[in-house]
C-alpha cells in the first residue's frame, strides 16, 4: 500500500515533508473553526434559539471573528507566574495534540508518518498533553489553575486506562498497531467494522456485544479525556473559574482552545479508525473511490464531534466521586470482561 500521495507527486523529500506537515495543520484550523460554529449553533438550536446571526451569512463568520478577537487581545503573563513554563504550556499542549495527526490516515494514500506502532504512538503522544495541562496550571501560580489542573489530571489519568483496554482489544482483534492496516482490515460492508466484530465467520455474532461494549467504553473514556461535558470538571465557573487556563489570555488561550478541539478530532479519528471502519465506505464498493475515502473519514469523525456537542447540551456534569466510580468500578471491570471475550474469540477463530 502506498503511504503518501505527496511523496509520489514531489521529488524533493524536504518540500514533500513540509507539505505533509502543513496539510493537517490547515485542516486542524479549518476544522476548529467549523467545530466552534457547530458548538454555538447546536447549543442554540437545542435551546430553540438562533445563536449568532449577525456575522456573515447567518452568523457563519462568528468563529473567525472570535479568533481575530483573541489574536488582538493583550497577552498577559502574571508577575508571580513561572514565566518559561507558563509560556511553554499552551505550546506543548497544542504540539502534543498536533503530533497525533502524524499517524492518522485520512485516506490510504495519506499517512503522514508510516510507523507500524501508530496506535501506540498516538496514545503515548496524547498523554503528553496532560503534562502541558499540569504545567500551565502549576506555572500560573493561581489556586484555581492548580486545582483545575489537578482535577483534570486525575480525570485524564483514570480514564486513560479503560481507553487503553478498549484499544488493546481492537489491537488483538486486528493483529496490528498500524492504523492504516486496521482500517484496511475493515473494508467491505459496514458489518466488517470492528464495532460489529470485524470480518470473520458467522459465529462472530457472539463477540458483537463485547465489541459494542468496547466502543461504548472507548467513547465514554474519550469524552473524559477531552474534558467534554458530562466530565468537564476541570472547568467550573462557580468553583474554580476556568480551571487550568484561568490566567491565560489572547493567543495563548487560543492555543489551549485549538489544542482542545484538535484533541477532540484525534479521539474522534481514533474511534472511527478502530471501530467504524476508518476511511472505508460503509456500503462496500459504493462511493469507495480514492477521492471519496477522506470524505468518508472526515464525515465519520464529524459525526462523533456532533455527538459530543449533542451530549454536552443533554447531560449535567458528574460529581468528582461519581467520575471516579464510573472509571474504576464500571468501565474498567467491563473493559476487562470485553477484553477477555475478544481475546478468546481471536484465539478460537
Choose which of 22, 25, 30, 49 interacts with another protein (CB under 8 A).
49
Q: Nearest distance from residue 334's CB to another protein, in Å?
A: 9
Rounded to 5 degrees, φ, ψ at 54 are: -100, -25
315 touching another protein, by CB under 8 A: yes
53 touching another protein, by CB under 8 A: yes
Q: Nearest distance from residue 266's CB to another protein, in Å?
A: 24
What single string gives the DSSP state of each residue in 266-300?
A: HHHHHHHHHHS-TTS-SBTTTT-STTTHHHHHHHH
Q: Nearest distance from residue 297's CB to another protein, in Å?
A: 24
Q: Nearest distance from residue 46's CB to another protein, in Å?
A: 5
**Under 8 Å between Cβ of 86 and 149:** no
| Cα 284 from Cα 26, distance rounded (Å) | 30
Q: Which three cell numbers stand for residue 39?
A: 458548538
**Under 8 Å between Cβ of 119 and 182:** yes
| Cα 231 from Cα 152, distance rounded (Å) | 10
Choose which of 15, 25, 46, 205 interacts with another protein (CB under 8 A).
46
319 touching another protein, by CB under 8 A: no
C-beta closer to another protein: residue 41 or 300: 41
Choose which of 27, 189, 191, 313 interacts with another protein (CB under 8 A).
313
For cell 470480518, name the residue. 199
Q: Nearest distance from residue 54's CB to another protein, in Å?
A: 9
Choose which of 330, 336, 348, 349 interacts with another protein (CB under 8 A).
330
88 touching another protein, by CB under 8 A: no
212 touching another protein, by CB under 8 A: no
Q: Nearest distance from residue 313's CB to another protein, in Å?
A: 6
321 touching another protein, by CB under 8 A: no
283 pairs with which residues across the strands? Answer: 189
328 touching another protein, by CB under 8 A: no
Provide the Cα torsion 308, 43, 281, 197; round to 10°: 30
Choose which of 47, 76, 319, 344 interacts with another protein (CB under 8 A).
47
4 pairs with which residues across the strands? Answer: 110
- CB burial of 70-100 (b: ≥16 within 10 Å; e: otherwise) equals beeeeeebbeebbeeebebbbebbbbbbbbb
Choose which of 203, 290, 303, 310 interacts with another protein (CB under 8 A).
310
* Residues within the interface to another protein (CB under 8 A): 42, 44-50, 53, 310-311, 313-315, 329-330
Amino acid at each position: 500500500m502506498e503511504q503518501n500521495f505527496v511523496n509520489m507527486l514531489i521529488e524533493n523529500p524536504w518540500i514533500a515533508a513540509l507539505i505533509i506537515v502543513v496539510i493537517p495543520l490547515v485542516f486542524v484550523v479549518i476544522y476548529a473553526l467549523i467545530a466552534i460554529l457547530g458548538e454555538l449553533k447546536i447549543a442554540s438550536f437545542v435551546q430553540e434559539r438562533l445563536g449568532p446571526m449577525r456575522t456573515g451569512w447567518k452568523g457563519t463568520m462568528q468563529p473567525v471573528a472570535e479568533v481575530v478577537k483573541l489574536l488582538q487581545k493583550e497577552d498577559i503573563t502574571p508577575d508571580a507566574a513561572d514565566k518559561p513554563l507558563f509560556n511553554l504550556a499552551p505550546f506543548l499542549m497544542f504540539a502534543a495534540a498536533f503530533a497525533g495527526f502524524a499517524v492518522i490516515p485520512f485516506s490510504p494514500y495519506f499517512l503522514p508518518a508510516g510507523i507500524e506502532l501508530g496506535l501506540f504512538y498516538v496514545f503515548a503522544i496524547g498523554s503528553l498533553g496532560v503534562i502541558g495541562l499540569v504545567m500551565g496550571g502549576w506555572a500560573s501560580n493561581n489556586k484555581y489553575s492548580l486545582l483545575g489542573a489537578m482535577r483534570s489530571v486525575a480525570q485524564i489519568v483514570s480514564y486513560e486506562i479503560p481507553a487503553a483496554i478498549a484499544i488493546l482489544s481492537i489491537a488483538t482483534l486486528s493483529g496490528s498497531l498500524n492504523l492504516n492496516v486496521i482500517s484496511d482490515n475493515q473494508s467491505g460492508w459496514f458489518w466488517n467494522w470492528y464495532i460489529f466484530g470485524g470480518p470473520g465467520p458467522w459465529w462472530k455474532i457472539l463477540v458483537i456485544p463485547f465489541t459494542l461494549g468496547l466502543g461504548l467504553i472507548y467513547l465514554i473514556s474519550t469524552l473524559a479525556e477531552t474534558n467534554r461535558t458530562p466530565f468537564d470538571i476541570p472547568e467550573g465557573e462557580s468553583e474554580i473559574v476556568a480551571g487550568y487556563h484561568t490566567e491565560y489570555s489572547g493567543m495563548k488561550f487560543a492555543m489551549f482552545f485549538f489544542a482542545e478541539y484538535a484533541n477532540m478530532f484525534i479521539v474522534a479519528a481514533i474511534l472511527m479508525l478502530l471501530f467504524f471502519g476508518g476511511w472505508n465506505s460503509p456500503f462496500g464498493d459504493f462511493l469507495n473511490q480514492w477521492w471519496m475515502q477522506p470524505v468518508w473519514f472526515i464525515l465519520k469523525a464529524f459525526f462523533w464531534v456532533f455527538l459530543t456537542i449533542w451530549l454536552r447540551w443533554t447531560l449535567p456534569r458528574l460529581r468528582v466521586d461519581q467520575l471516579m466510580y464510573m472509571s474504576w468500578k464500571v468501565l474498567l471491570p467491563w473493559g476487562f470482561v470485553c477484553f477477555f471475550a475478544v481475546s478468546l474469540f481471536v484465539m478460537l477463530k
